Amino acid sequence: MNKSLLLLGFSTIVLSSCTIFKNKDKSISDSNTDTMEEVITETEQSLPKVQPIYNASETRVHDLIHTELRVNFNWENQTMAGVAKLTLHPYFYETDSLILDAKAMDIHKVTIESGTFKGRELPYKNDGWYLRIKLPQKFKRQEEFTVSITYTANPEKVTTEGASAISEAKGLYFINHDGSNPNKHMEIWTQGETEASSCWFPTIDSPNEKTTQEMFITVKDKYKTLSNGSFIGSETDANGKRTDHWKMDQPHAPYLFMMAIGDFKIVKDTWTNKNGEQIEVNYYVEEKYEQYARDIFGKTPKMIQFFSDKLGVEYPWPKYSQVVVRDYVSGAMENTSATIHGDFLYRTKRELIDSDNESIIAHELFHHWFGDYVTCESWANLPLNESFANYSQFLWDEFEHGKMEADKHAQSEMEGYFISAQQGGHVDMIRYDYGNMMEMFDGHSYNKGGRILNMLRTYLGDDAFFEALKNYLNENKYTSTEIHELRMQFEKVCGQDLNWFFNQWFLASGHPEVKIDQEYDPTTKTLTVTINQTQDTDKWPLYQLPIDIDIYSSGKAARKRVWVKDELNTFVFENITSQPDLVNNRCD
């Protein structure tokens, strides 16, 4: 997901420091401070100890194999009638019950559609959050069964609140549902991240779940539909309503399921894969922007080819469509093979001169490798999705517009991280102690993460960096991962223990603050560079930093690699024949 307005980058680690000042309580005199501190200490010691917050990955009780949805809409009431057929099996332990996420739904009937009990209605409990189903027998591991659930989705009754990154969490949205606004497009669309897909179909709404998918969407004939995977075909009934059939044969997470319905114009494009097959690349827009669709999205096939080549893993999905919708609740969303963008992407050809939004298009596309193909197993591991998507913006700028343009945007990304941290505090990149999962969508997961990846690339070199990414994607395809699996792929390639890097950058908060001094001694012809880490090491790590020092002297440049590991680090360079013209320190 692209929050679209998050700024940040990290071209160097010569970082600025910031100080937080706390107001003293004026009612406490200086003479009483020591006594008060003793009282506070005694009170703290007397409090019972509690376990720290730990948001674990979702426990796998069942494995969801296939999801079939048949849906139609009541525009006036803003509801959706659906039948969901879910095929599952116990993940490991045998069980005779099934618990599904189903928010604000009316459940009308539950039946089993397989085996000896096919057609039998099943008892269930529905509390507006979970649907608890009693199965007719105990099923063992790998013993598949299918349940059918007839239901009504009521998105206007959903009570889950949104946040800054995703302003609402209703899952299903009717735009200008009664047509009362002649200036606004009538649309239906979905938004699943983080766990809002269960507002429009019952499922196991967790990022570590993967399922194949079929969608049968019934609409008035004037509307176009879009969903994940391939378009199979349509049937029209006696009342003139059309049912479109979409099918996704590759497993992906439920939060990536999508629908978009509206009177869209479809501008068709293609990308050709290495087998010579033409893959559909389509742009869904309102009629008045049809003439500008290629101006807005036209570089998409080139991006698909670039990322496929760069990663060594070809774009893995059967199509790539992008749709622009009204009143979207976020910036954009990387639904598998069918990205949704907010209407800020609408631009005329003239307006595109000032703002082309290429970085957002690249961001959502790159998620189709990092996020869709390989998914973070929990929201605590969100940087495995968002840091990579953020870094794709740098990669695309570097390729399409040059290194200077990429570095310029990286600088703004870095500054965005600083602003985010100043406003919301410094937190671990991989954080299991969040209070709300939406806290993960911040300047750390996006901006800081992208800059960290650039540092790792610089340290390892391009060959090792991209080979490790290729192996990570190939070995974990269609699964979910945590940060250690990424680290181990880098270690396998480069042969180094990289715990030091991942511990300080992904599993801790903050950043290094350094003070650099230099002194040239003409008598001994030596240059002494002192690098002092000044961050509060009670809160932040003492970093290990491989730093390149470029010494410009007598018209020549020499690069020296040093390791900053201690609080105070002194490096002496000999045979410097004259006062250096410039000493430059960099680690990006």
Q: What percent of the chain has pLDDT over 90?
A: 87
Give residue 533's pLDDT.
97
Classify residue 183: in a domain, yes or no: no
Q: Is residue 580 a part of any domain in this protein?
A: yes
Residue with tokens 């807005």: 296
Is residue 555 assigned to a domain? yes
- Strands in 224-227's sheet, in edge-to-edge order, are 172-175, 187-190, 259-262, 224-227
Q: Quick count: other Cβ atoms within 10 Å of Cβ 70? A: 18
Residue 260 reports pLDDT greater than 80: yes
Query: Which of 112, 69, 71, 389 has its CA nearest to residue 248?
Result: 69
Tokens at residue 176, please? 């200008």
User: φ and ψ at 437, to 5 degrees?
Assistant: -60, -25
Query: Do 464 and 527 have their domain in common?
Result: no
Q: Give yes or no for residue 483 having a pLDDT over 50.
A: yes
**Same domain, yes or no, for 401 and 487?**
yes
Contact 363, 322 (CB under 8 A): no
pLDDT, tens digit (0-9, with 9 covering 90-100), for 92-120:
999 999 999 999 999 999 999 999 999 99
Q: What is the pLDDT of residues 322-335, one digit of tens each?
A: 999 999 999 999 99
> Residue for token digits 């410097």?
576
- 188 — pLDDT class (breaks 50, 70, 90): very high
* Helix axis angle, 462-475 to 300-311, nearest 10°: 100
**Which one, of 258, 253, 181, 274, lies nearest residue 215 by Cα?**
258
Q: Is the pLDDT of residue 536 over 60?
A: yes
Instruction: Select from 180, 219, 172, 220 the least CA-distant residue to 200.
Output: 172
Least confident interval from 237-241, 265-269, 316-320, 343-347:
237-241
Q: Which domain holds residue 579?
A: 514-586
**Size (the chain), residues:** 588
Neighbours of 100 (CB within 10 A): 26
Residue 28 domain-assigned (yes or no)? no
Distance CA 385, CA 205 (A): 17
What CATH code is carried by the domain that includes residue 559? 2.60.40.1840
pLDDT at 27: 39
Type of residue found at 283: Y
Q: What is the pLDDT of residue 299?
A: 98
Nearest by Cα to 249 from 336, 149, 377: 336
Compute the Cα dihedral for 333, 338, 340, 345 and give only its sign.
positive
Give yes or no: residues 378 and 395 share one domain. Answer: yes
| pLDDT score of 475 more than 80 | yes
- Asked, as a colleague might, if the bond just before 194 is cis with ω within 30 of 0, I would say yes
Six-digit token pair at 320?
């790539």
121 assigned to some structural domain: no
Residue 456 and residue 572 in one domain: no
| 316 within domain boundaries | no
Q: Are residues 420 and 492 in the same domain?
A: yes
pLDDT band at 480 (very low <50, low <70, confident <90, very high): very high
529 and 500 within one domain: no
SS3 228: coil
pLDDT value of residue 37: 55
- pLDDT at residue number 23: 36
Distance of CA 584 to the CA centre of its chain: 35
Contact 216, 70 (CB under 8 A): yes
Whether residue 395 has pLDDT greater than 50: yes
What mean pLDDT comes out for the span 8-26?
33
- Strand 545-553's sheet: what is its strand order? 556-564, 545-553, 582-586
Answer yes or no: do 522 and 455 share one domain.
no
pLDDT for 39 beyond 80 = no
Segment 286-309 mean pLDDT: 98
Between CA 452 and CA 454 the distance in angstroms is 5
State the pLDDT at residue 42.
59
Q: Is residue 164 included in any domain, yes or no?
A: no
Structurally, the chain folds into a number of domains equal to 2
Could you give the CA distance from residue 129 to residue 153 in angstroms, rounded to a whole number?
12
> Mind listing the pLDDT tens digit for each residue in 415-450?
999 999 999 999 999 999 999 999 999 999 999 999
- Domain termination site, one of 482, 510, 538: 510
Q: How far is CA 157 from the centre of its chain?
A: 27
Q: Are residues 428 and 558 in the same domain?
A: no
pLDDT of res. 26: 36
Residues 482 and 390 in one domain: yes
Residue 469 shares a structural domain with residue 365: yes
Query: Cα torsion at 463, 469, 470, 474 (round to 10°)?
Result: 160
Q: Residue 562 corresponds to which tokens in the numbers above?
A: 């040093």
**pLDDT at 144 > cutoff 60:** yes
Mean pLDDT, rounded, of the chain: 92
- pLDDT, residue 100, reads 98
- Domain boundary, last residue among 475, 510, 545: 510
Domain assignment present for 240: no
Contact present, 573 and 561 (Cβ < 8 Å): no
Which CATH number does the domain housing residue 367 bear? Answer: 1.10.390.10
Distance CA 5, CA 142 (A): 45
- The per-residue pLDDT for 44 is 56
Average pLDDT of span 1-28: 39
Residue 503 and residue 526 share a domain: no
pLDDT band at 163; cut points 50, 70, 90: confident
For residue 90, name the pLDDT band (cuts at 50, 70, 90).
very high
Please report the DSSP string for 111-178 in residue order: EE-SSTTTT-B--EEE-SSEEEEEEEEEEPTT--EEEEEEEEE-GGG---B--SSSSB--SEEEESTT
Put simply, whether the predicted model's pTM sits higher than 0.85 gets the answer: yes
- pLDDT at residue 34, rounded to an integer: 52
Find where tokens 């039946």 sit: 111
**Geometric angle at alpha carbon 201, from 381 and 154, rounded to 5°:** 115
Stretch 243-270: mean pLDDT: 98
DSSP 56: P
Q: How confident is the model at residue 491 (pLDDT cuts 50, 70, 90)?
A: very high
Q: Which of 487, 510, 533 is the last residue of a domain?
A: 510
Contact at 8 Å (CB) between 117 and 136? Answer: yes
Q: 3-class DSSP state for residue 560?
A: strand
CA distances from 358 to 18, 219, 471 (A): 33, 33, 27
Does residue 388 carry a pLDDT above 90?
A: yes
pLDDT bin (cut points 50, 70, 90) of residue 7 is: very low
Same domain? For 384 and 501 the reply is: yes
Q: What is the pLDDT of residue 162?
A: 84
Looking at residue 518, what is its pLDDT?
A: 95
